[in-house]
Amino acid sequence: MTRSPVIETEGLTRRFGDLTAVDDVTFSVQEHSIVGLLGRNGAGKTTVMQLLTGQDFATSGEIRIFGESPVENASVLSRLSFIKESQRYPEDFKPKHVFKAAPWFFEHWNEEFAQELIEEFRLPLNRRIKKLSRGQLSAVGVIVGLAARAPLTFFDEPYLGLDAVARQSFYDHLLADYARHPRTIVLSTHLIDEVSDLLEHVLVIDDGRIIIDQDAESLRGSVTTVAGPRHAVERFVEHREVLASDRLGGLATATLEALTPAERREAADAGLELGGVSLQQLIVRRTRAHASEFGAES
């Protein structure tokens, strides 16, 4: 079944004076998918999301959300939900006021699901927003983002204030509700290993540029780690490109691009162990490699 693109950008650029926060970015996101928008602090993730949701204006390039520009476009914006860590509410508001107002903005709002989440996160509905802990404030955001069931939902790390148990609950509810009510979800996070099993597609941005735009499953299988006696590892990788390596006494490991079946047999015959690399490790290594290349270009 062919899926239509919900997000399309072409040559998207945003400059702030001499600073280029987003640099000639082109990508698309298919409907009914969970996508990770990943990268270091200051890489450009939040700026991209602000551009996609019509909260900022591009210096150049094109954006199409549901086939249209999001800027001052009510028909597009009414189908979006953008939840961020720095979400602000009127200080005199209480969580119950936020949830009471939510149906005015989100036509797919599900009150029953919201109440289930309120109970799950043990959220005090009658406490003023300014009196909430960071975790409780994060819970308000994730409940709105989940219960809104917007066709396109952006989560810009609003769950960072949650403890590990609450974050896992968020991931579980997101995945279960996504299965029942498919929509397009874009997750921005530093906690890559925590969300790796949720992601169907990965976008990695570094210094304002997209450096990875790949299906998550193929990305996971794109590298292999070989480990064993140092001399055997060094002999095996001698004429191959090494993405990363480590040595400890007489042992060594090396990370290479995915090996062919013949190369895997060769490694096994050499007494080497083969393994995978976590999505987080892979992205860290690719980002470091890009930083080295970018520095060389500069």
Rg (the chain; Cα; Å): 22
pLDDT tens digits for the chain (298 residues)? 567 899 999 999 999 999 999 999 999 999 999 999 998 888 899 999 999 999 999 999 999 999 999 999 999 999 999 998 878 888 789 999 999 999 999 999 999 999 999 999 999 999 999 899 999 999 999 999 999 999 999 999 878 889 999 999 999 999 999 999 999 999 998 788 888 889 999 999 999 999 999 998 888 888 899 999 999 999 999 988 887 788 999 999 998 888 899 999 999 999 999 988 888 888 877 777 666 555 545 4
Q: Are residues 139 and 213 in the same domain?
A: yes
Q: Which residues pair with 35 in a beta bridge?
A: 186, 201
Q: Which residues pair with 184 in a beta bridge?
A: 152
Cα–Cα dist 26/18, whole Å: 21
Q: Are residues 97 and 139 in the same domain?
A: yes
Residue at a domain's end among 219, 252, 284: 219
Q: How does strand 251-257 pair with strand 242-248?
A: antiparallel
Q: Are residues 17 and 161 in the same domain?
A: yes
Q: Are residues 172 and 283 in the same domain?
A: no
Q: What is the CATH number of the domain that holds 201?
A: 3.40.50.300
Residue at a domain's end among 180, 196, 219: 219
What pLDDT is recorded for position 213?
A: 95
Q: Are residues 195 and 266 in the same domain?
A: no
Tally of domains within the chain: 2
What pLDDT is recorded for position 298?
A: 45
Q: Are residues 291 and 153 in the same domain?
A: no
Residue 218, classed as helix, strand or coil, is helix
Let me know the angle formed at the C-alpha of 284 by 23 and 52, rounded to the nearest 5 degrees. 35
- Helices within the chain (DSSP H only): 45-52, 74-77, 95-105, 111-120, 134-147, 164-180, 192-195, 216-220, 230-237, 261-269, 279-297
Q: What is the CATH number of the domain that holds 271?
A: 3.30.70.240
Q: Which amino acid is at 157?
A: E
What pLDDT is recorded for position 296?
A: 47
Domain that holds residue 264: 221-297
Residue at a domain's end among 219, 238, 268: 219
Q: Are residues 102 and 248 in the same domain?
A: no
Cα–Cα dist 80/65, whole Å: 9
Q: Are residues 122 and 228 in the same domain?
A: no
Q: Are residues 35 and 183 in the same domain?
A: yes
Cα separations in angstroms, 32 against 119, 217, 284: 27, 17, 27
What pLDDT is recorded for position 68?
A: 95
Q: Are residues 90 and 215 in the same domain?
A: yes
Cβ neighbours, 10 Å, residue 170: 25
DSSP letter, residue 68: B
What pLDDT is recorded for position 87?
A: 81
What pLDDT is recorded for position 189?
A: 84
